[in-house]
Chain A
Amino acid sequence: MTDKLENRIVFWTFLSPIIFAFLMVVIIPFLIGAFYSFTNWSSAARANEVLEFVGFKNFTDSFADPSFNYSFILTIIYTVINMLAINITAFLLAIFVTSKLKFRNIYRVGFFIPNLIGGLILGYIWQFIFNNAIPSLGEIVPALSFLADPRKLILANRNSAVLALVAVGTWQYAGYIMMIYVAALESVPAELHEAARIDGANVGERIRHITIPMIAQAFTITMFLTLVQSFKQFDVNVSLTAGGPSAMFMGIPLFGTELLALNIYNTAFVKLNMAMAQAQAVIFFLVLIVISMIQVSVNKRKEVEM
């Protein structure tokens, strides 16, 4: 057997299984999906049903749909707050667990643990805390009696329910992002801090003028990860609030905490409008790409070369 022939055989035997899986679940559905978004595809569609081409109708319908618009705006607000909350918490935790603490390794593990458990399960845990444990605290402690008022339940009010989503998102993800900051912080040479200390810089100044510029590259990654994670949030949304409570928007009542991913899912499986859900998913995809490209290029510009 010649070398060239052997190389070709190995090339295709090694590559074809993964290409098969990749084509079957990513590439083909992606292409079909892009096509479906321009048709009248319905949930009853079968392999042999005739699809009709409807142009941009699904897209214009989506932008005319109050619940889609609402979810879109809500997701952007949620993403901004969530990104800030996760990154600030994670950065502070990272600063703490990289200082000379006695139990720092145990702390690191503890902060990381929520990350291991799926968002769906975490959402149920917190639903219990918000709906049962916190009101019970209000009954026990007289000063906190307002917590026991059933009308003031955290998940019963749209604004506080969104903040509850942020709290759970932060709790879930901050430990993971912290680990990335820890890896970055540990690579900053100690001499830099030593020199700054001799020059009389205090802790705050050292963090601002040495630590943050030195780990700018980590910020690019963590911001990107938290942006994508927040924008795609689905599991916690399903189990914590299931989209409720209701809110008014453009004159109609709709789900007050329904983020974009859940809205798309409901458009398809509750409202049974597959073609429109597909068009919304395409919009979701384009927006996510544009926003993350802007984010990465802005952050990249702030990185310093060492």
Chain B
Amino acid sequence: MKISKHNIALELITALLFLAFLFPFFIVLINSAKDAFQITINPLGMPEDWSQIGRNIVGIWTNKNIRYPGSFQSSIIITVVSLLAITVLSSQAAWVLVRTKTKLSNMIFFIFVAAMVIPFQIVMFPLLSWFRTVHVVTGIKLLRTYFGMVLAYVGFGCSLSVFLYHGFIKSIPFELEEAAKIDGCNRFQTFYIIISPILRPIHATVMVLNGIWIWNDYLLPLLVLGKGNKIQTIPLAVANFAGAYVKQWDLILTAILMAMIPIVIFFLAAQKHIIKGMVAGSIK
């Protein structure tokens, strides 16, 4: 009897905490269904007319200042291309680093791992001037372009990714690769046909860890893409918009709601893998 009472209390406390945790999202939702006037006089009440949410969403979607459709597309392009590049390039790099036992390969791996402690702040200003220099010298434009953005994410994302792949590949028996060789695979085929499919769980972890970070990142796009650029990511769009429309909360909150919807849907669909991936990435 005593135990079940104790459990009811615990269930209740947790349920309350759960509601408190989700309350800010609820606030965003109800206020996205209000017009500018209602939101100012009654930010806590339920909306009078839920269909306002549709009008607000259309308003943001077509607003020339937030450029939501374009920003959404840019965010998708940058995130997807960066993730593909990070997983393919980091996994193949980690594989040759594990399978080649020389001083050089040890040293390269060590540098990758050591670089994980470098905070972004120390490289951000020189990165900008270096990208500018590269443009002047070679003519390749890295600032305000997709290429520069993806290059930056690959460069910043590869340390942790190579580290995660390295740890996993070490546990794959070498006999597997010898067997592939006897069957006539060359080294490239061995990696793409035999090894890469085995790496699937770690591919997922690397994609989740980097994906959440890249999708939400604000500072790096702010520096590399800049303000007022044709290419802008969603966080950048929201920040520019909120800065320009100070206190116009009906617009800002709807823009926020629309920035949250894609990632929350994606999360609910792949929830188990995402949580597993994020936890695995931090423990290893």
Contact = CB atoms under 8 A, between A and B. Distances in A.
A66 interface: no
Interface residues of A, number: 92
A94 B31 CA distance: 31
Contact of A26 (B13, B93, B118): B118
A182 to B, nearest CB: 8
Contact of A121 (B188, B191, B238): B238
B260 A232 contact: no
A151 interface: no
B218 A238 contact: yes
Between B95, B100, B122, the greatest number of chain A beta carbons within 10 A of the residue's beta carbon is seen for B122
Contacts of A96: 10, 13-14, 17
A154 interface: no
Nearest to A106: B18
Interface string B96-137: 110010000100100110010111111111110110111011
Contacts of B96: 10-11, 14-15
Contact of B123 (A30, A125, A133, A175): A30
Chain B binding site: helix, strand, loop or mixed by DSSP? helix
Contacts of A41: 129
A195 interface: no
B216 interface: yes
A47 B158 contact: no
Given A10-B96, A11-B96, A129-B24, A111 B123 contact: no
A118 B79 CA distance: 14
B212 A116 contact: yes
Interface in A76-122: 93, 96-97, 99-104, 106-122
A118 B236 CA distance: 11
Given A32-B126, A118-B216, A24 B92 contact: no
A26 B105 CA distance: 19
A26 B25 contact: no
Contacts of B70: none
A221 interface: yes
A136 B89 contact: no
Contacts of A74: none
Contacts of A121: 216, 235, 238, 256, 259-260
B61 interface: no
B123 A22 contact: no
Contacts of A110: 18, 21-22
B267 A113 contact: yes
B151 interface: yes
A26 B159 CA distance: 10
Contacts of A210: none
Interface stretch (B48-56, B166-174, B198-206, B274-282): B274-282
Contacts of B130: 24, 28-29, 32
A188 B213 CA distance: 31
Interface size band for B = 35 or more
Given A22-B112, A175-B21, A284-B122, A128 B27 contact: yes
Q: Return the 6 tightest CB-CB contacts between A and B, nearest first.
A: A118-B216, A25-B155, A33-B126, A29-B126, A32-B126, A14-B92
Interface of A: 6-7, 10-11, 14-15, 17-19, 21-30, 32-34, 36, 41, 45-47, 93, 96-97, 99-104, 106-122, 124-126, 128-129, 132-133, 136-137, 140, 171, 175-176, 179-180, 182-183, 218, 221, 225, 232, 234-235, 238-239, 261, 264-265, 268, 274, 277-278, 281-282, 284-285, 288-289, 292
29 contacts: A10-B96, A11-B96, A14-B95, A15-B93, A15-B97, A21-B85, A24-B155, A25-B151, A25-B152, A25-B154, A26-B115, A29-B126, A32-B129, A33-B126, A41-B129, A47-B133, A102-B11, A107-B15, A110-B18, A113-B25, A116-B216, A121-B235, A121-B256, A125-B25, A179-B275, A179-B279, A278-B126, A281-B125, A292-B117
Interface of B: 7, 10-11, 13-15, 17-18, 21-22, 24-25, 27-28, 31, 39-40, 42-44, 85, 89-90, 92-93, 95-97, 100, 105, 108, 111-112, 115, 117-127, 129-130, 132-134, 136-137, 151-152, 154-156, 158-159, 162, 186-188, 191, 212, 215-219, 235, 238-239, 242, 249, 252-253, 256, 259-260, 263-264, 267-268, 271, 275, 278-279, 282-283
Given A15-B97, A129-B27, 9 more contacts: A22-B115, A24-B155, A25-B123, A47-B132, A102-B11, A107-B17, A111-B21, A128-B28, A281-B125
